[in-house]
Amino acid sequence: MPINSKELLFVVDENNNPLAPLPRDEVHAKGYWHRNSHVWIVNSKNQTLCGKRSLLKNANPGKWDPIFGGHTNAGEEYLDCAIKEVKEELGLSIDPSQLEFCKLHKSYKEKEFNSVYLLRGELDIDKLIIEKDELDKIEWRDSLELAGLGINDHPDWVSRGYEQEILNKIINKK
């Protein structure tokens, strides 16, 4: 499904207090604070599921990303958004109890509050249905290798500034 530039996003102030919903294009053009949900998916082999972003994406086209997620819509809670985004991007239905909350990350660069979750489990990625407007492909990547690669600063990867912290949590199985 192509990006709807008119969808209403959950706009907040710099302390994450809700304000009036505004269209996506206006939120990004004017740099308003808003909310996102991020889901990291990890299997028992300590691999992280990563997606290569579609070339159709406005932000970071063609880059690898260790998260699945997106903007929260007006009136939507972080957890509901996380579940919705995993369903949209991967065709995977999950229960709220499967998600482990990791942190709320404040990104000054993107003016976003990112609610970060971890989903642990075994997935056959050949059975997932990836949303082609969002992703070109997905693959399992060794979490220790990703940590060593320094994806926070790597030109082939989307950088959000908290990746190393989550990778350490995955590697140490905490």
pLDDT of residue 21 exceeding 80, the answer is yes
Kindly indicate the confidence band of residue 44, based on its pLDDT and cuts at 50, 70 and 90.
Answer: very high
Tens of pLDDT, residues 101-138: 999 999 999 999 999 999 999 999 999 999 999 999 99
**How does the average pLDDT of the chain come out, rounded?**
93
pTM: 0.94
What is the structure's pLDDT at 149?
87
Whole-number percent of the chain with pLDDT over 90: 86
Cβ(32)–Cβ(45) under 8 Å?
no
Domain 8-171: which CATH number of 3.40.50.300, 1.10.3720.10, 3.90.79.10, 3.30.70.20? 3.90.79.10
Pairing, β 47-53 against β 135-142: antiparallel
Cβ(68)–Cβ(58) under 8 Å?
no
14-22: long-range pairs with CB below 8 Å, 24+: 16/104, 16/106, 16/113, 21/73, 21/74, 21/75
CA dist 147 to 13, 114, 132, 172, 173, Å? Answer: 32, 20, 27, 12, 14
Tens of pLDDT, residues 62-81: 999 999 999 999 999 999 99
Tens of pLDDT, residues 47-66: 999 999 999 998 899 999 99
| Domain limits, the chain | 8-171
Helix (H, G, I), strand (E, B) or coil at 28: helix
What is the structure's pLDDT at 65?
97
